[in-house]
Amino acid sequence: MTIAALPQPYLLFLGDVGERAFLKTALGLADWASEHCIGEYRLPGAAVTTGLPAMAPVEARAGGARAMVIGAATPGGGIPDSWIDGLLQALGAGLDIVSGMHVPLSSIARLAEAAERQGRQLIDVRRPPNSISVASGAKRTGNRLLTVGTDCALGKKYTALAIDRAFRRRGIASDFRATGQTGILIAGRGMPMDAVVADFCAGAAEMLTPDAADDHWDVIEGQGSLFHPSYAGVSLALLHGSQPDVVVVCHEPGRRNMVGAAGFALPTVEEAIETNLLLARRVNPQVRCAGVSFNTSALSVEDAERLMETEGARLGLPVADPVRGGPAFDRLVSACLGQ
Amino acid sequence: MTIAALPQPYLLFLGDVGERAFLKTALGLADWASEHCIGEYRLPGAAVTTGLPAMAPVEARAGGARAMVIGAATPGGGIPDSWIDGLLQALGAGLDIVSGMHVPLSSIARLAEAAERQGRQLIDVRRPPNSISVASGAKRTGNRLLTVGTDCALGKKYTALAIDRAFRRRGIASDFRATGQTGILIAGRGMPMDAVVADFCAGAAEMLTPDAADDHWDVIEGQGSLFHPSYAGVSLALLHGSQPDVVVVCHEPGRRNMVGAAGFALPTVEEAIETNLLLARRVNPQVRCAGVSFNTSALSVEDAERLMETEGARLGLPVADPVRGGPAFDRLVSACLGQ
């Protein structure tokens, strides 16, 4: 992926996938980037819809689409043979193909040849740009918010998207800054932090969030967790490179063990706040934690509300679930702005 | 670089370099890996010697050399035209070429063609292996010591080499584990941590320091500093992946500003101890700081000894300069072993 803008609007490719779990990218795009999605293209066998109009690549191109995004995943992470004809149709119709999958599109010979012949792009958003510098640590203008977590995969992207959207609704100049492949597809740009060579990782975060106007906010999607034994280095490079004024700690109440790290318990929310602030102060002594984002998807409305109230009182900070929204989330957004 | 062993013994290539500062790699190899160096090869104009016997590639090959190592650096980091004939001579004589320079050897067409034709290897030790996994965080057997620092470039490699050597002198099974290009050339193997893709960085450190016998020590060369705004992510990934039982904090008294990061003061030694232990406990709750390594090269003998004594008493830890050695360094080594 490059910092440059992806070709939009998109046609979403759903393949022949029958389970919602494998369509998170397409569903996320339909939720968060619907203004950039003009339709969906399903193969026979696809059992789920995003709700966008069904259309073939030729129709989508005629309707203004510039790229087809692979919005489906597979258990092994590869691109099945059954998808190839659909992808070739898109190239033939004049659409670029955008993918966040592990396997590079150009590694599939039939796609590479067709794209070359037709002058179309195969864009892998997992590939970082070549032009990243080592971080300088120099103070930048504008305001930055970073979502951080007690673990991976518990709502850092969603929280950043929701805060960015709330900022805009309040008339505040704000950019969601994507750091992972789904976020990059949503934003149409960003930096795949986990694919950057380690020495340049903080530099990549600096590049992602450049100098901006004094009243502008970058709302940055966090990655991993300082407490995760596999990915903490990425999290620290992102924390230093983002130079946040505000962090929001994301947590899933009830989760006991770190994803993919057997035997590692989650830290407490307080530990996550303290450690993130301790390390972030190195690049921004004014950094503060504005609040906590809970992923309460496993709880009933009543249990979730009770828990967020209790925890908010205990921590002395706004605690909210951005998916549930409501006054609690408004308070969290206000606290981010120092209001 | 691969985890696999480099071809040794070496012939050291000094090029036509006239300044000691550009021969740090060759001088480091002559100091720390003299048993693997059979001679040096200088071009006309070279003004410095490592003290090893001068010989041409053909003689070196006849004497058992298997590779010529580029032991010289250039201001721009490239390989000057004036070196090419010397490098071609080495390939012609049956030597592989090993380089820690930024520019890949194979990017120079004449070298790539000659190596191909003669069935010789061009080995860039900055290139990590392709087979690195994401870290698991699982506890490994054996003992691990990691040198960490208040900044970059103040003696972490030297300290690790000196401790490994002292362990061996005491009859303790020990391996120096190299994490940067010069260290890798010295050890003949290792992992170029700063060149690993961020997501795999802790995994690379796990791969570098595998399960070992209960009485075995891995003495691991640290990288960067948790306090450096450019490289802290690499340092944390290495700290987590190394899972150290012991850290030794390296510091240069009198240094005020971080290398390459304008406006960033060095942390105190106490801050460096606390922060490294705080983050290392995540993967090894038993981790301890055994002592402090001072780089006192800018001080007189008397000033250095007085400072180390005062600081040792203040910190309650052994403080020593491994270059000066002596009883202070013996105490530091004993403390590493828990003696």
Question: Closest chain B residue to A229 measured between Cα atoms?
Answer: B137
CA distance B300 to chain A (A): 33
Question: Closest chain B residue to A227 measured between Cα atoms?
Answer: B282
Cα of first residue to Cα of last residue in chain A, in angstroms, is: 36
The residues with which B325 forms a beta bridge, in sequence order, are none
CA distance B262 to chain A (A): 8
The residues with which B54 forms a beta bridge, in sequence order, are B40
Burial class (CB in 10 A: 0-12, 13-18, 19+), A190: buried
| Nearest residue to B150 (alpha-carbon basis) of B220, B224, B261, B202 | B224
One digit per residue, pLDDT tens: chain A, 339 residues? 445 689 999 999 999 998 888 998 999 999 999 999 999 999 998 989 999 999 999 999 999 999 999 999 888 778 999 999 999 999 999 999 999 988 899 999 999 999 999 999 999 999 998 889 999 999 999 999 999 999 999 999 999 999 999 999 999 999 999 999 999 999 999 999 989 999 999 999 999 999 999 999 999 999 999 999 999 999 999 999 999 999 999 999 999 999 999 899 999 999 999 999 999 999 999 999 999 999 999 999 999 999 999 999 999 999 999 999 999 999 999 999 999
Helix-helix angle B232-242:B269-280, to 10 degrees: 50
The β-bridge relationship of strands A37-42 and B10-15 is: unpaired
- Judged by CB atoms closer than 8 Å, whether chains meet at B195 and A197 is answered as yes
Identify all chain B residues contacting A282, using CB atoms and an 8 Å cutoff: 227, 229, 232, 264
CA distance B271 to chain A (A): 11
Asked whether the bond before A9 is cis by omega within 30 degrees of 0, the reply is yes
Predicted pLDDT at A21: 86
- Judged by CB atoms closer than 8 Å, whether chains meet at B232 and A237 is answered as yes
Is A245:A215 a contact under the CB 8 Å cutoff? Answer: no
Count contacts between A and B (CB, < 8 Å).
133
Residue given tokens 């975060």 in the structure block: A205
Assessment of whether the complete model's pTM goes beyond 0.90: yes
The answer, for A137 touching chain B at a CB cutoff of 8 Å, is: yes
- If contacts are CB pairs under 8 Å, which of residues 185-244 in chain A contact chain B? 193-199, 201-203, 226-227, 229-238, 240-241
B168-212 per-position pLDDT tens digit: 999 999 999 999 999 999 999 999 998 999 999 999 999 999 999
B119: left (phi > 0), else alpha (psi -120 to 50), else beta? left
CA distance A166 to chain B (A): 31
Helix-helix angle B201-208:A232-242, to 10 degrees: 140
Query: What ipTM goes with this model?
Result: 0.93
B272-323 per-position pLDDT tens digit: 999 999 999 999 999 999 999 999 999 999 999 999 999 999 999 999 999 9
Predicted pLDDT at B233: 98
Predicted pLDDT at A3: 53
Q: Which domains does chain A have, with CATH numbers?
A: 10-124 (3.40.50.720), 143-336 (3.40.50.300)
Segment B161-171 mean pLDDT? 98
B8-63 per-position pLDDT tens digit: 999 999 999 988 889 989 999 999 999 999 999 999 989 899 999 999 999 999 99
- If contacts are CB pairs under 8 Å, which of residues 242-261 in chain A contact chain B? 260-261
Q: Which of B233, B261, B282 sits opposite A233 (nearest CB)?
A: B233
Identify all chain A residues contacting B264, using CB atoms and an 8 Å cutoff: 137, 282
